[in-house]
Amino acid sequence: MKVLLIAPLPQPVNGQSKASKMVLDSLAKDDVVATVNLSKESLKNGFNSLGRFREIFKAFSNVWKNRKGNDVIYFSIAESFAGNLRDLLIYLIFFSSRNKIIIHMLGGVGMTKILNGKGPLNYLNRYIISKIGGVIVEGEVNFITFSKVISKEKIHIIPNFADDFLFVNDEEISQKFSNINSIQILYLSNLIPGKGYDELASAYIELSDKYKENIVINFVGGFESLQSEKDFLSKIETHKGLNYLGKFIDGSKKRELYCKSHVFCLPTYYPFEGQPISILEAYATGCAVITSNHSGIPYVFSDQINGFGVEKRSVSSLRKAIENVINHKDELIDIAFNNRNEALKKYRTSIYQDKIREVFETYR
């Protein structure tokens, strides 16, 4: 089978590029795969620089070169306004072979707004998506969105995954939670507006000294701009319990950091959020989770079972959740075991890749 994969691929590493690389690795075992890399250097959305225009032009050139002779066209779509305009042009290039297109919606809130909106963008997306071969979504929320546009039989639910090397054993979880001196909370995601990192720092700052003495929050991720990085580092520099560990971490160092963390926190309200892989990684490494009821998160997270839910954009809700973690730290180990076991059953890479291959096999 000849497959054309149109998707962002590492570098940089984010949820969408990570998932796309997992699809590529699965297909490359048995199929002929050509790739069009949609990755961008900037964390900002939109056509915001000359460099971004060059990236888009290169992507269109590669799409045009690879437009013929494909059995399947795998397309990881965007959901921002600018990204959707790009995608519509790509759809147009493949319109004569539209029944071979499988789109993968990693995220969904932005696309939900487009498909439920009004105007030409809504009409064009609904018309084109109704004509393609199939759709892969992360969970029920996107299934419902796309079922209004395309036949339900063409929609495939495939949850995300955690890398195999991250999974911890019972002994590692027990060791992590024995003799806790201070609760280690990890924020690992891009530090961009909507992800909740700034609210998390503010929640710590609002804690009383009694609580601050019992907690450390570590941040890892890239910033949208040098100014936002400068502002955040200035905000946390006088607080010994707040640490910024750098823009990127992976491999054994990433596993080690997760294994030292008791709680993972992602209080996101990011408009293009989907089903965060970082939450599933936290499960695999035996962490309790603090997160928000946003986008696809409710389909992989239950309050008081996987951790603690917080209100979006709420510093006070985060502060109360942190206090709750400290007051009930002896209960965290039970959540950690539950999360690791859930990840073993549902979020292995083999499960993800097998389901992807099942979808592709239907288009042979």
Q: pTM score, two decimals?
A: 0.94
Ranges assigned E (strand) in the chain: 2-7, 32-37, 72-76, 101-105, 134-137, 155-157, 183-188, 215-220, 242-244, 263-266, 288-292, 307-310
Kindly write down the DSSP assignment for every residue of 262-316, as one continuous string. Answer: SEEEE----TT--S-HHHHHHHHTT-EEEEES-TTGGGT--BTTTEEEE-TT-HH
Higher-confidence position of 323 and 43: 323
pLDDT at 54 over 90: no
pLDDT band at 46 (very low <50, low <70, confident <90, very high): low
pLDDT of 31: 86
Average of pLDDT values for 235-243?
A: 98
pLDDT digits (tens, 9 = 90+) for 293-350: 999 999 999 999 999 999 999 999 999 999 999 999 999 999 999 999 999 999 999 9
pLDDT of 49: 56
pLDDT of 44: 61
Match 């639910």 to its residue by tokens. 157
pLDDT at 12 over 80: yes
| Least confident piece of the model among 18-32, 42-56, 105-119 | 42-56
Kindly write down the DSSP assignment for every residue of 15-41, as one continuous string. Answer: HHHHHHHHHHHHHHTTSEEEEEE---S
